[in-house]
Chain A
Amino acid sequence: MLKIKDLHANVEDKEILKGINLEVKAGEVHAIMGPNGSGKSTLASVIAGNENFEVTKGSIELSGEDLEDVSPEERAHKGVFLSFQYPVEIPGVSVTNFMKTAINESRKAKGLEDMPAKDMLKLIREKSELLEIDRKFLSRSLNEGFSGGEKKRNEIFQMAMLEPKVAILDETDSGLDIDALRIVASGVNKLKSKDNAVILITHYQRLLEYIVPDYVHVLHNGKIVKSGGKELALELEEKGYDWLKQETAV
């Protein structure tokens, strides 16, 4: 479904990604772990099409289609979703209005009519229940004054609404207490299917107890230095990242 080949990316002439290879098939959950500054969030941003990063080499393919020169909004329409580590506050635009706009823009891109208001309300109700989101919450301005947990829950709510093919969750567990983590993880698990894929970007193993990955990759200095099954996450938790650094230095 998602194929990343020898991906190099710069920000302001500094190379952050130095040759990433990754293949994610439908139905799979991949975890990308690694120390701070290893390039995890950059990888997430580059997949979503953030133009602040320049891809200098390599390619990203979604369902066989090269995403080079595809804008962030078009990637979203094709089924890429990024749950942000730091969601942006948009005062004056309610969660509901924002979601309506996002859904209808995506439908427009596919040549479909706007979703009828009744269906939209039904969908919003369904998905907000999935994430135990209060109705009042939906009429608040997007992310404005939200707690860290509310922001992350809202990100997953958006994912539920948009039903992406590939969802990248960037540090979705950071800033969450255990109850919020459980709700968010259970939401993601319910959204998982054989037709979509999830990439979890995380620093800690904690999230992976709730969303169990099929594969774990370790990113270090812009490269995937080790891949394995879910047990690799436990190993990292136990030993930290220092041993990896030594191992790769050798």
Chain B
Amino acid sequence: MDLKDKLISSFMAFENNVDVEHPVHDVRMAAIKNFEEKGFPSKKEEAWKYTSLNSIQKIDFSIFPKKENALEYKDVKRYFIHEIDTYKIVFVDGIYSSYLSETTHDGVDICLMSAALTKPMYKPVIDVYFNKVASKDESLTSLNTAFSREGAYIYIPKNKMPKKPIEILHFSTGNEASLLLQPRNLIVVEENAEVQIIERHQSLTSNEVLTNAVTEIFAAKSAIVDFYKIQNDVESASLIDNTYIDQKDKSLVKVHTFSFGGKLTRNNLNFYQNGEYIDSTMKGVTILGEKQHVDHHTLVHHIEPNCESHQDYKGIYGDASTGVFNGKIIVDKIAQKTNAFQQNNNILISDKASINTKPQLEIFADDVKCSHGCTIGQLDEDALFYLQSRGIPQKEARALLMYAFANNVLSSVRIPELKIRINKLIAEKLGVNLGFDL
């Protein structure tokens, strides 16, 4: 049985374990129908031209983990930003781990989707927000919606800010030979509220894992959201991340995506600016080697006037790794005075590495500032000579220049300990070991 058929036939088993009377179940049923019609995207579709899911579909994934697997904190501590105190929502093989988590209901709700989808007290929020910005058309998003049951639920009421950043961690233990995970996150940040979130998917063995995640973020008027995605998984782990962001007047949302690992990673990052004076920022650092593949698909839809968007993605590709950057900007006719900036710079350090980069601008307003630029290059020879002339060997000098190139994106990271962590990861990936006190 191929994966699509297996998923569709599993839906009935899934229904035995959820409340089919809940209004959300109508949403799930519509979603499985859409997935059944469309199936997995193929390379014939423009949006999937450079990323093939063929080999993934041949894997016989377990769709529901058989049992809860315990992890000791000491074994996974290094995947947390343990230098600082954080709220933690942790899943092990897709099942919530209360032992590793630290949730709260103290003025804000930092807890679980499974609770939000079943308990009456959350129903008003679920009714208004669940599946409201996520695509009802895109097949993998529908697949996630159909099986949506667990994930992170974060609700920050008006004028509130949690005392500390929130970490969302998904571990897979490898107890299943191959596992499909479909976390579903809902993040609602009300007027003038603020939140910082760090998300990571981490497989602990070399067994196959495929994560098809959907995150919906709603930023109300003047809300501030910082979302950091750390993608540094093992070579047998693949991730399809679908993030949908709805922004209202004067809200400020920044998403940083750090892609340093995994077998296949697809980021679908979609911003919808439903208000004025909105700022949307997307930053990315991608450092790949071996046969890794990362595909960044961004969309910013400027729906109202006087908004800004900023995109800055840097990529370093070694060995036979491949990258894709496709940045789509839509400026509606009414969205005058839009400022939309997009930058994608890449360095290829191996003849076998490749990057496909494509800006896609659809501008229907006439009074807008849009700029885009993409570069694919090698390292600056003058800079290399400068470092060598100070006694730094060529290999280290190259690494140092790449480090500087990638590091440039980090200025907007607002959690210092996270910035240090990412700096170290970048240095490690590039083999820079230069006695830095990072």
Q: Which residues of A contact B (CB under 8 A)?
A: 45, 48-52, 71-73, 75-77, 80-82, 84, 87-88, 90-93, 97-98, 100-106, 109, 114, 141, 158, 162
Residues of B within 8 A of A106 (CB): 391
A91 adjacent to B392 (CB under 8 Å): no
Which residue on chain A has the smallest CB distance to residue B392? A105
A92 adjacent to B435 (CB under 8 Å): no
Contacts A84-B386, A101-B434 given; does A73 touch B407 at CB 8 Å: no
With the chains together, A182 CA to B119 CA distance in Å?
Answer: 75
A52 adjacent to B381 (CB under 8 Å): yes
Mark interface residues in B384-401 (1 if CB within 8 Å of A CB, else 0).
011111111110110011
With the chains together, A73 CA to B397 CA distance in Å?
Answer: 10
A51 adjacent to B385 (CB under 8 Å): yes
With the chains together, A148 CA to B233 CA distance in Å?
Answer: 44
With the chains together, A167 CA to B73 CA distance in Å?
Answer: 55
Residues of A within 8 A of B385 (CB): 45, 48, 50-52, 72
- 16 new A-B contacts, CB < 8 A, other than A90-B401, A92-B407, are A48-B389, A73-B389, A73-B392, A90-B387, A91-B407, A92-B403, A92-B406, A97-B436, A98-B390, A101-B392, A101-B396, A101-B400, A104-B435, A114-B435, A141-B404, A158-B390
Give which listed residue, B391, B403, B410, contacts A102 with CB less than 8 A: B391
**Distance to closest chain A CB from B258 (angstroms):** 15
Which residue on chain A has the smallest CB distance to residue B396? A105
Which residue on chain B has the smallest CB distance to residue A78? B391
Which residue on chain B has the smallest CB distance to residue A141? B404
A97 adjacent to B437 (CB under 8 Å): yes
**Distance to closest chain B CB from A221 (angstroms):** 25
**Distance to closest chain A CB from B426 (angstroms):** 9
Mark interface residues in B405-438 (1 if CB within 8 Å of A CB, else 0).
1111010000000000000000000000011110
What are the 6 tightest A-B residue pairs by CB atom distance, in nearest-first order? A92-B407, A76-B391, A72-B388, A88-B386, A102-B390, A106-B391
With the chains together, A84 CA to B388 CA distance in Å?
Answer: 12
Residues of B within 8 A of A104 (CB): 434-435
Q: List 27 A-B contacts (CB under 8 A).
A: A49-B389, A50-B389, A72-B385, A72-B389, A73-B388, A73-B392, A73-B394, A76-B390, A76-B391, A77-B391, A81-B389, A82-B389, A84-B386, A88-B382, A88-B383, A91-B408, A92-B404, A92-B407, A92-B408, A97-B434, A97-B437, A101-B434, A101-B435, A101-B436, A103-B391, A105-B393, A114-B435
B390 adjacent to A162 (CB under 8 Å): yes
B380 at the interface (CB under 8 A from A): yes
With the chains together, A77 CA to B393 CA distance in Å?
Answer: 10
Which residue on chain B has the smallest CB distance to residue A97? B436
With the chains together, A45 CA to B385 CA distance in Å?
Answer: 9
With the chains together, A71 CA to B391 CA distance in Å?
Answer: 9
Count chain B residues whose beta carbon lies closer than 8 angstroms to a beta carbon of A.
29
Interface residues of B in 237-282 (CB under 8 A from A): none
Judged by DSSP, the binding face of B is: helix
With the chains together, A92 CA to B390 CA distance in Å?
Answer: 17
Residues of B within 8 A of A81 (CB): 389
With the chains together, A88 CA to B408 CA distance in Å?
Answer: 15
Contacts A51-B385, A52-B381 given; does A93 touch B391 at CB 8 Å: no
With the chains together, A228 CA to B404 CA distance in Å?
Answer: 45
Give which listed residue, A51, A90, A97, A109, contacts B391 with CB less than 8 A: A109
A71 adjacent to B394 (CB under 8 Å): yes
Residues of A within 8 A of B391 (CB): 73, 76-77, 102-103, 105-106, 109, 162
Residues of A within 8 A of B390 (CB): 76, 98, 102, 158, 162
Interface residues of B in 83-98 (CB under 8 A from A): none
With the chains together, A158 CA to B406 CA distance in Å?
Answer: 25
With the chains together, A141 CA to B387 CA distance in Å?
Answer: 14
Which residue on chain A has the smallest CB distance to residue B426? A92
With the chains together, A48 CA to B381 CA distance in Å?
Answer: 14
With the chains together, A106 CA to B388 CA distance in Å?
Answer: 11
With the chains together, A45 CA to B388 CA distance in Å?
Answer: 12
Residues of A within 8 A of B393 (CB): 71, 73, 105
Which residue on chain B has the smallest CB distance to residue A87? B386
Residues of A within 8 A of B381 (CB): 52
**Distance to closest chain A CB from B337 (angstroms):** 30
Q: Which among A71, A104, A105, A162 has the greatest number of chain B C-beta atoms within 10 A?
A: A105
A76 adjacent to B404 (CB under 8 Å): no
Which residue on chain A has the smallest CB distance to residue B391? A76
B404 adjacent to A90 (CB under 8 Å): yes
Which residue on chain B has the smallest CB distance to residue A168? B389
**Distance to closest chain B CB from A47 (angstroms):** 10
B388 adjacent to A76 (CB under 8 Å): yes
Residues of B within 8 A of A73 (CB): 388-389, 391-394, 397
Which residue on chain A has the smallest CB distance to residue B410? A92
Residues of B within 8 A of A162 (CB): 390-391
Residues of B within 8 A of A76 (CB): 388-391
A90 adjacent to B392 (CB under 8 Å): no
Q: Which among A98, A106, A109 has the greatest number of chain B C-beta atoms within 10 A?
A: A98
Which residue on chain A has the smallest CB distance to residue B409? A92
Q: Which among B380, B381, B383, B385 has the greatest number of chain A C-beta atoms within 10 A?
A: B385
With the chains together, A91 CA to B397 CA distance in Å?
Answer: 14
With the chains together, A71 CA to B394 CA distance in Å?
Answer: 9
Residues of B within 8 A of A51 (CB): 385
Q: Which among B389, B436, B437 has the greatest number of chain A C-beta atoms within 10 A?
A: B389
Residues of A within 8 A of B394 (CB): 71, 73
With the chains together, A51 CA to B394 CA distance in Å?
Answer: 12
Residues of A within 8 A of B397 (CB): 73
Give which listed residue, A49, A93, A100, contacts B403 with CB less than 8 A: A93
